[in-house]
Amino acid sequence: MDRRRPPRTEEGWYVLHDLRTVDWDAWRNAPDRERERAIAEGVEYLDAHEAVADADAGGSAVFSVLGHGADLLCLHLRPSMADLDAAARRFEHTALAGYTERADSYVSVTEVSGYMSEAYFEGEEVEDRGMAHYIESRLEPEIPDAEHVSFYPMDKRRDPEYNWYDLPFAERAELMSGHGEIGREYAGEVTQIISASTGFDDHEWGVTLFADDPGRIKTLLAEMRFDPSSSRYAEFGSFYFGRRFPPEDLGALLAGEPVPTGEGDASPHASGHAHGGAHGDEATGAHERAGTDGTSGGADDIRGELEELDVYAGQPHGEDVHAVVLYSAADPGTLGEEVSGLRESFEHYDTHVETAVYENPDGGDAAVVSIWETASAAETAGGFLADLPDVVARAGERADGHAGEESGFGTMGMFYTTKPEHREAFVERFGAVEDLLDDVGGHVETDLLVDRENENDMFIASQWRSREDAMDFFRSEAFRETVSWGRDVLADRPRHVFLA
């Protein structure tokens, strides 16, 4: 029998799942001074590793594990095995380690295989930007900012009837592709880190799943169990399930208090990843965004005010969608070609609604708008879109203003879809409103941007010195008349989204 061809692989970061049980009797009997020291040294260790102070890149996170298998899970990703080894041994030098025992551990490495992209291993440039970014994210993944984690090791079966390693490469690749299609249906809800462990540990792969809704992890795995790649060819080790908490809450966790306490960082799952970058302001409504002037301006408050003015500002649930908007100085035609490739990849996901390039007829920066059903999916898409050429800003980050003015509040009305016969009248009306805005106090800039593929689809982006300046205009008779007039020329009510 001919030897089957194994998939080629490229390895990325090394991974350690360090599972610990707490010696609760010893902890309860320890003097307060010793417990305080253990907590302080534990927090210092966890903080330093989440900030990746020990290496050039990577990520770390800590989780409270439910069930009998363990109490704590420390997850580390590092560029080298030496970095991983040092991280593990460094914990043993803390006072906290004296109150724990290792319940289990798993050593592995992230990888990309030929099942995913043969072209990648032929030395060819991966032209699909979405695939290129996906490959990078598989090799050097960020630990998602999600509440729950599920980890388990697995193998491919080798029995007389179903032996994975006896299958031809093409058949294995087809099975893996079908298996991946199921996972893509959960994009934005469940994020995975897959790592290989042949020669490193007792199984062949480690699977780490992250989600805010624990039920989605269960549903995903249940669906995958019926896929032939799992039902015929997969065998699983022990499962561990946990909840993430910030290092500062270690004391509360050991005291049996609910975590996260909310007393640490503004983001309880804030992580100091060396890989990846910060994004813009948090999501708020399309006709609303808490500004940099210090106003609180919650989404529901602004919705209520606008509703009183008979201005529709979306609903907090139901038809709301989420968007990421980036501005680029690149040629709109070139940008459109790049976005077209990404859009083809995005359309594999059920949570994707629309991605398009909008041109500024006055020659300003073009905008790329990607709309999704969930905020996490939009945020993930933002990572792909950030690699587009000549990106100059993300909506929510444009606070430089014009002519020396500072913009502290932005509004976005999406999407104005005009009836074809009224498009010209709508653009003329916008011009008149734009002239009017030049004389309105607190107004910095307003642009009308047009979808390159559908000239009847537009959105309006405005910058103001403050939220109150914007609300003063929304209360004006001129704005009320414009809204009333727009009902006759628009094909539908403007869509108001959240900016991720």
The DSSP-derived string for 135-156 is: HHHHHSPPPP--SEEEEEEEEE
- Within 10 angstroms of residue 363's Cβ, the number of other Cβ atoms is 7
Tell how strand 352-359 and strand 366-372 pair up: antiparallel
Q: Is the dihedral of CA 161, 165, 169, 175 positive or negative?
A: positive
Which amino acid, 207?
A: V
The residue with tokens 């990325």 is 12
The DSSP-derived string for 319-372 is: S--EEEEEEE-S-HHHHHHHHHHHHHHHTTSTTEEEEEEEE-TTS--EEEEEEE
Q: Measure the CA–CA gap between 239 and 236, rounded to whole angstroms.
A: 8
3-class SS of residue 89: helix
Q: Measure the CA–CA gap between 357 and 155, rounded to whole angstroms.
A: 44
CB 63 within 8 A of CB 144: no
- Within 10 angstroms of residue 315's Cβ, the number of other Cβ atoms is 11
As annotated, the active-site residues are 152
Which amino acid, 411?
A: T
| Spatial CA neighbour of 115 closest among 200, 201, 179, 209 | 179
Question: How is residue 251 annotated by DSSP?
Answer: H
Tell how strand 59-66 and strand 72-78 pair up: antiparallel
3-class SS of residue 208: strand
- Within 10 angstroms of residue 77's Cβ, the number of other Cβ atoms is 31
